[in-house]
Structure 1
Amino acid sequence: MTVTKGLEGIVATTSSISSIIDDTLTYVGYDIDDLAENATFEEVIYLLWHRRLPNKEELKELTAQLAENMDVPKEVLDHFKTFPIQSVHPMAALRSAISNLGLYDAEADVMDKEANYKKAIRLQAQISTIVTAFARIRKGLEPVSPKKDLSFAANFLYMLSGKDPSAIEEEAFNKALVLHADHELNASTFTARVCVATLSDVYSGITAAIGALKGPLHGGANEAVMKMLTEIGSVENVESYVKNKLDNKEKIMGFGHRVYRNGDPRAKHLRAMSEKLTKLTGQSQYYEMSVKIEELVTSQKPLPPNVDFYSASVYHSLGIDHDLFTPIFAVSRTSGWLAHILEQYDNNRLIRPRAEYTGPGMQKYVPVDER
């Protein structure tokens, strides 16, 4: 057997959902640059699930279905109040809530195609409500019910703050959702597919994916980037901070990506949005620090920034708590996870790789008194 650490370069399945070829990311053949500039998140959800963009009626129907299914069972939200609310990380709360959500779905274990699609609608709609409700409950605030006439992106920001977002805020958040929606066979997507390949249910698949996304080497990177920017404090401190990190061979979060040689194609969209939003909110120092860090790091190492690097200052400028950055990633990536879960069900085979054994050779049992 040939062993490849981290399964790097191993092709584990076929998929018609997204591709990364020559540093170009596509969703069903549509370049991410095209979608980031033009598409709504609702269009991207439809594209990932149906492998084509919707017409007006289909988009209207999906938008209505998402809006109608955003309400979450009261029992799920009340469960948050039993958590150690001031210390629990939102990703841990989200992981538990999605698992809990399955208990209140009468079709949770119904595995036909129609039932699974309905569950996909409910999960995509409700994860947004769960994240925003937790964010408010831990501050002693009541959850805000969604508005039926708002877009998915606008509804999230509305449920988080209780205020209708501005056009630029909605645009920025929609763009972030589009950019994070899918990314081929990343760690959390692979986890979801492994889980449901056993014919486990959709809720189990999404819960497993959230568990994988929680790690700082995957979804947690943008939260770590914002922590870094906060620690640095000002542009004047960037050079010494970066030099110290590089001299000590410490990782600087938000740089490099295993599947891209010349840079993450998503990063430039959030860089432009970071510049615009930080200026608008009077927090240009975060964009300026980010640019300076990028210049210093890329001059020393061939590691361009990835999508996490500039998403940190974008989310901060939207007034979002830093530990909510990864749950927001999950809100978006749920669309991709669900696409892959449904695809796995359609052409399923149990995913069961092998491991090369490196332990001792054949041994003989010795009774405990003789050891």
Structure 2
Amino acid sequence: MNNGLDDVVATETVMSDVDGLAGRLTIRGHSLDDLAASSRYEDLVGLLLDGFVAGLAQSEELAADLGEARTRVFEQLVPACAGLGPLSVTEALRAALAQLADGEDAATALRLVAAPAVLVPAIVRLRRGQAPIAPDAGAGHAADMLRMLRGADARPAEAAALDIYLVTVSDHGLNASTFAARVVASTHAGLTSSVLAALSALKGPLHGGAPGPVLDMLDAIAATGDAEAWLEAALDRGERLMGFGHRVYRVRDPRAEALKRSVQRLFASGGEGTGRLALAEGVEAAATRILARRKPDRPLQINVEFYTALLLEALGFPRESFTGVFAAGRVAGWIGHAREQALYGRLIRPQSRYVGPLPDRAA
């Protein structure tokens, strides 16, 4: 029995490979570095779903179809979001997504890809007392998401930074949310059910909820002015340093490096946020030194969440929406895995070992 299923191979996949020892991420035959440097999110959607979704267009036609899907999602799902005010952003996103019918076709897949990009800005605006903004079907996916959030066009550098983020988090092996999607897909329940299961898994703080607390940590350190003293005290209290360490990577998370470069370019292009970036880089350096000294047997470097927090904050997303923005990137990976499981896999049905009391037996 392997508690947590560490090192258990549950499936074969063409989706992605996470090499934790070398610090490499391969997505459908391409390195993360190459994809982050050259791909729009629309291109990643086509790559991830290629061969899995019948009738899916490619290239600019796919971008146009995705723009149309954003429009249809806005018309169908956003009106009901006004009644979801008491829920968190992630819970409201899940409730709104549940209105989509299950299916396996290209229209269903693209609406599911479009939905978080449309719904997260709409939910955020409603929570601020603002009216949701309809999509621009002709805009790029990342640029349109920012326009729907702010009510104004994003600078090209900002749209490019969000594109890099969505690409970077689009798929990452058999993580908890992706495994949940594949379990549901193995029953042939449909894509919407699979995505809802994945989103519910992502909601848990051990999987998708850490970028916000990274900012809480940076705020607390900024207030004291002494990063090393704050970090040492936090470790003395037995607290985890947010944005450090990963279940798989034994070296630096390659996604963290891609996002750090993106943040640096974003701040350089706009001339703002340099103090926040300098603080984060100082905290990263101090924490890396302290963790290496105090936990020499555990490789604890920054993970994808550390610079995600700075990037999404700089783009104007509130902290409570970060999990939803993550879902906007990861949803295409969930769909690809779900279709791969439904097409080529079996019903996922592992065994358990009973360790409870046995019934009394007559002598």
Q: CA deviation at 1:285?
A: 2.9
* Corresponding position of 1:369: none
Alignment counterpart, residue 131 of structure 2, candidates 138, 142, 157 = 142
2: distance between equivalents of 1:339 and 1:231? 40
**Structure 2 vs 1, CA of residues 189 and 206 (structure 1 numbering), >3 Å: closer, same or farther?**
same
Structure 2 counterpart of 1:192: 181
Secondary structure at 1:258 match in 2: coil
C-alpha distance in 2, partners of 1:75/1:149? 19
1:208 and 2:204 aligned: no
Cα offset, 1:263, TM superposition: 1.3
Within-5 A mapping of 1:60-209: 60-71=60-71, 72=73, 74=75, 76-83=77-84, 85=85, 87-102=86-101, 108=102, 110=103, 115-209=104-198
- 1:1-371 matches, cutoff 5 A: 3-21=1-19, 22-50=22-50, 58-71=58-71, 72=73, 74=75, 76-83=77-84, 85=85, 87-102=86-101, 108=102, 110=103, 115-234=104-223, 236-278=225-267, 280=270, 282-301=272-291, 302-363=299-360
Report deviation, 1:271.
1.2
Give 1:282 deviation, angstroms: 2.9
Q: Give CA deviations for 1:101-153 in whole Å, capped at 9, x if unaligned.
A: 33xxxxx3x5xxxx433210121122211111111111121111111221111
Cα offset, 1:278, TM superposition: 4.1
Q: Distance in 1 between matches of 2:278 and 2:232?
A: 17
Give the deviation of 1:254 after TM superposition: 0.9
Look up the SS of the partner of 2:254 in the other structure.
coil
Deviation at 1:100, TM superposition (A): 2.0
1:240 CA displacement: 2.1
The separation in 1 between residues aligned to 2:162 and 2:184, in whole angstroms, is: 30
The answer to whether the Cα contact below 8 Å between 2:74 and 2:134 also exists between their aligned partners in 1 is no
SS at 2:18 equivalent: strand
Give the conservation status (yes or no) of the 8 Å contact 1:271–1:310: yes
Report the alpha carbon displacement of residue 319 of structure 1 after superposing the two structures with TM: 1.5
Shift of 1:364: 5.7
Kept in 2: contact 1:222–1:309 (CA 8 A): yes
Residue ranges of structure 1 left out of the alignment (5+ in a row)? 103-107, 366-371
Inter-partner Cα distance in structure 1 for 2:284 and 2:116:
33
Alpha-carbon distance in 2 for matches of 1:364, 1:96: 48
Q: How far did residue 176 of structure 1 move?
A: 0.3
More divergent stretch after superposition (74-83 vs 35-44): 74-83
8 Å CA contact 1:297–1:303 kept in 2: the answer is: no
Q: Which deviations, in whole Å up to 9, do the C-alpha atoms of 1:209-267 show, x marking residues without a partner?
A: 00000111111111221222223335823222211111122111111111111110011
One-letter code of the match for 1:314? L
3-state SS of paired residue (1:81): helix
d(CA) in 2 for partners of 1:225 and 1:291?
13
Contact 2:121 2:145 in 1 (8 A): yes
Counting matched residue pairs gives 347
When the two chains are superposed, the root-mean-square deviation of aligned CA atoms in Å is 2.0
Measured after TM superposition, the shift of residue 288 of structure 1 is: 2.0
Higher mean C-alpha deviation, range 150-159 or range 72-81: 72-81
- For the residue of structure 2 that corresponds to 1:282, the secondary structure is coil
Q: Is the 8 A contact 1:235 1:285 kept in 2?
A: no
Q: What's the secondary structure of 1:118's corresponding residue?
A: helix
Amino acid at match of 1:283: G
Per the alignment, residue 296 of structure 2 pairs with: none
TM-score norm. by structure 2 comes to 0.90
Distance 1:101 1:200 in 2: 13
Compared with structure 1, are the counterparts of its residues 13 and 49 closer, same or farther at alpha carbon in structure 2 (3 Å cutoff)? same
Contact 2:228–2:287 (8 Å) recurs in 1 = no
Deviates more, 1:352-361 or 1:22-31: 352-361
Q: Do the aligned residues in 2 keep the contact of 1:95 with 1:211 (CA within 8 Å)?
A: yes
Q: CA 1:75–1:178 in 2, change beyond 3 Å: closer, same or farther?
A: closer
Give the 3-state SS of the residue equivalent to 1:233 in structure 2.
helix
Mapped contact 1:17–1:51 kept (Cα < 8 A): no
Cα gap change, 1:364 to 1:241, in 2 (>3 Å): farther
Gaps of 5+ in 2: 292-298
* Percent of paired sites with the same residue: 36
In structure 1, distance between residues paired with 2:323 and 2:355:
36
Give the CA deviation at 1:73: 5.8
Say which structure, 1 or 2, has more relative contact order (CA 8 Å, 6+ apart).
2
Inter-partner Cα distance in structure 1 for 2:175 and 2:209: 14
1:82 shift after superposition:
1.9
CA distance in 2, matches of 1:51, 1:78: 34
Taking structure 1 as the reference length, the TM-score comes to: 0.89
